[in-house]
Structure formats: structure tokens, C-alpha cells
Amino acid sequence: MTGRTAGDQRNLVLLHLESIAWQAVHAFPEAFPNLRRLMAGSRVFRSYFASASSTQMVLGALVHANDFEFDANPHLDEPAGNNPGLFALLSAAGYRTQFLCATSAVPPRMLPLLANCLPPIRATDDYRVLLAQFREATARGPFAVYVWNLVTHIEHASALASYAEGSDDVLGGACAVADHVLGELLAILDQNGRSRDTAVIVFGDHGDDFWTHGFKSGQLHGIEPYAPLIHCPLAIRDGSLAPGEDHRLASTIDIAPSCFDLIGLRADLPFPGSGSSLLRDRRHAVVFSQNYTATQPDDPEASVRRAFATIDQSHLLLASSAGLELYNYRLDPGNHCNLLHFFDLGADGGLHWALPAGRVHPHFTTAVRHFMADAGSVDRDFRRLRDALAAQVARKHAYVAERMPDAAASLGTVRFDRASRAGRDAFFA
């Protein structure tokens, strides 16, 4: 690894927005004045999608810049270390690295599993302590500090319940607390004289689904990667980036390479399929997400299926043992209308109209003509997304087969040859 001279070294701060997707930012706009202020001076990646719908998998993808870290395990375990870890490389380059965690309970059980790829972890239930730790950590450079505030996780937000009226007030209040802390952290950088020489990355790990896709035993995340769960904020504030909105597709696996570019370090990331720096001109045609490891089975008791998704600028295609689901997340941000309800999969692998008999309102035919180009554009995007997702699952199959031959066959339960019919009868009433 080579980088800038010591006198030109930049610092790095990563601020983790727990359980905050764009959906939460839009639902509680009054709760985020500091985030909005930060975004106004940052490059905001509006088409960023988290690599998974659970925090542990997102952290593994972020630290190791790839989304295969847990795939060769039938449950979430330690990351495989396919690439050297972000913080290990920063520490080797002379950075003082710390991981600060604000939690209302004991540190989350995932942290011991991630300990080997994270810097020293300091957890507290007192924000005064957290801010003091951050002030000390950023007093002198070069530093790389990760801050994870869990107040917006539903189980931690319940600590605010006695001050709130209803569940939405609990969550809105938790967002306001998280935003206030974010503002205090940024103020400390100013007070320490570190704002100008520090790159700040703020990102959401996932959102919450309040059972709009089924009860799922009551889980809010870690379920199938629908767009409202994985479409999250990502903003980078740095003097090298002009503020504004960037609509290129971005993934969690791109964050570590972007960190290296921001602070002027070159790191070798040998694993095929590693992310790429968002400071460069390369564009993703699609990005991927998932909820379980590639070898985790479906959970029928919770009605959660292991699912993989691929996303382009308009559509999200999801594949599971139930088959395929396709959503236009711009027209349908909640992913409630599976567009494949309108089609059958033909022998040619393409989409063919299959509307039930009955009256069709002109609204639909007009929308089809203008928004779906008489289904031609949907069929084209569907084929392209399905091919990309099938190739991604095949890569995961090969990865697992090399490490766990006995488990590799389970990936065959992902169906690319049929559309999911779940809910179709109710959809057409």
C-alpha cells in the first residue's frame, strides 16, 4: 500500500445510520436537520443500495469490500476475510483506528464475531461518554473512526417509549436523537480543527419493513431485500468532491475502496467482484443485495425465504425458492406490485401478457403504453436483470462449492425459471 506523505494525510470518519433507509428520512423530515445540512455540503449517492438487509452482513461487506464474506456458512459467523479488512489496512498505514458504539443494552452479539476485522470496540450507553471518546479519538491524526449509534434500532428505540405517543413517535424521536448526536460529532470535528482534513462518510445499513410484505414472525429487517429496506442514504463530505447528487448505482462494497481514494492510499483488493471507488468514473450496470448467506436455508416458520436481488436504475428483481418478483421501485417505492403478475414466463425465457379475463381500465392500458412501452422495455430489463442475477448466484455457487462442497447443492433451490405467484389472486381480486 502506498499513499500521500505524512504531512498530507487525511483523516476518516464513518457514521453508521442504524436502521435508517430513505423511507425513514422521508417519513420524519423534521427529525434530520443535521443530516440535511451535512448532505447539502456532500456528494449524495441517491441510488445507493445496501448489500444486505441485515447489519452484520452489511458490516462484513463494508469492511472487506465484497458481498461473499458470509456465504460459505449456513448461519452468520465470522467474515471470511476474502479481502484484507479496511481497518487493518488503515492501521498498517499508521492510522489510529477506533470503533465507537452507542447502545442502550449490552454490545450487540455480532460485535465479537466481527472483532477480528474491526478496530478496538468501545461501547457505552451514555452519549456524554461517546462524545468524549470521539473528541479524544479525533484530537490528533491520522485517525479513522467508526461511530455506530443504535438508538434507531427498534429494540433500542424502545428506551424512548415513555416520552412518546405511539410507535411512530418513538421512531421519529429516535431519529431526532440520532441526528442530534450526528450534529454533535460534526461539531467536535470543527472544534478540533479537523473538518477540513477529514473525509466524512454517512451511510444507512438498512431500513425497517413494518410487515407490509407479510408478518415474517414480526421481524422488521433481515427479511427479503425489497427496495425500501436496502435503498439507503449515502453521503460523502470531502474537499475533493463537489457537493451535489450522484445518481450512479452504488453498493456497500464500494465504500472501502472509496475510503482509500479519499485519504490517498492504494490498497490491493484481490477478491474477484470487489467494489470500486465512487470517486472514479466507473459505473455499475447493476448492484446486488441479499438477506441470508448463500447457504442459509429458507425459514418456513417465519415465512422468510433466502432471497437475492439485483437492481438497476428503475427495477429490482428478486429471486428465491418461490420464483421471481419484479418491481419498478421508482413508481412503486414500497415494492407492493410484482410486475410479473401481469405476465407468464414463456419457453423463450421472455415475458408474455397473462392478464385475467375481465374489464381493464384505460388507466392501465395508458400506463402500459407509456411506462412499459407495451411490455417491451419491461421484458428487456427483466431479461438483463435475470441474467445478471443468475450469474451472481452462479458465482456464489462456485464460491461455496470450493469451500463447502456438501452445501453447494442448496443454492439450486433459487428459481429463475418461474414467476412467483404469491398474492397474485388477491392482487387481481
Tell me the pLDDT tens digit for each residue of 191-220.
999 999 999 999 999 999 999 999 999 999
To 5 degrees, how large is the angle CA 121–CA 125–CA 130? Answer: 60
3-state SS of 139-175 is CCCCEEEEEEEHHHCHHHHHHHHHHCCCHHHHHHHHH
Q: Report the distance separating Cα 167 and Cα 172, nearest Å.
A: 9
172 grid coordinates: 421519529
Counting beta carbons within 10 angstroms of the beta carbon of residue 244, is it exposed (0 to 12), middle (13 to 18) or buried (19 or more)? exposed
Tell me the C-alpha distance between 191 and 134, whole Å: 12
| Contact call for residues 290 and 225 (beta carbons, < 8 A) | yes
Do 136 and 89 touch, CB atoms closer than 8 A? no
Q: How far apart are CA 300 and CA 47, in angstroms?
A: 32
Residue 405: Cβ-neighbour burial (10 angstroms; 0-12, 13-18, 19+): exposed
Could you say which of 2.130.10.10, 3.40.50.300, 3.40.50.10420, 3.40.720.10 is the CATH number of the domain covering 2-285?
3.40.720.10
**8 A C-beta contact, residue 75 and residue 410:** no
Question: Mapping DSSP to helix (H, G, I), strand (E, B) and coil, where does residue 292 land?
Answer: coil
pLDDT at 1: 38
Q: Read off the pTM.
A: 0.95
Residue 7 has a pLDDT of 42
Beta bridge partners of 145: 13, 98
Low-confidence ranges of the chain (pLDDT < 70): 1-8, 106-108, 164, 373-375, 407-412
As a whole number of angstroms, the distance between CA 229 and CA 205 comes to 9
Q: Which residue blocks in 272-320 are alpha helix, DSSP H?
A: none
Check: CB of residue 383 under 8 Å from CB of residue 349: yes
Cell of 294: 448463500
Q: What ranges do the domains of the chain cover?
A: 2-285, 308-428
Residues 206 and 19 sit within 8 Å (Cβ to Cβ): yes
3-state SS assignment for residue 212: strand
Cis amide leading into 142 (omega within 30) = yes
Cα diameter, the chain = 73
Determine phi and psi for 3, rounding to 5 degrees. -155, -160
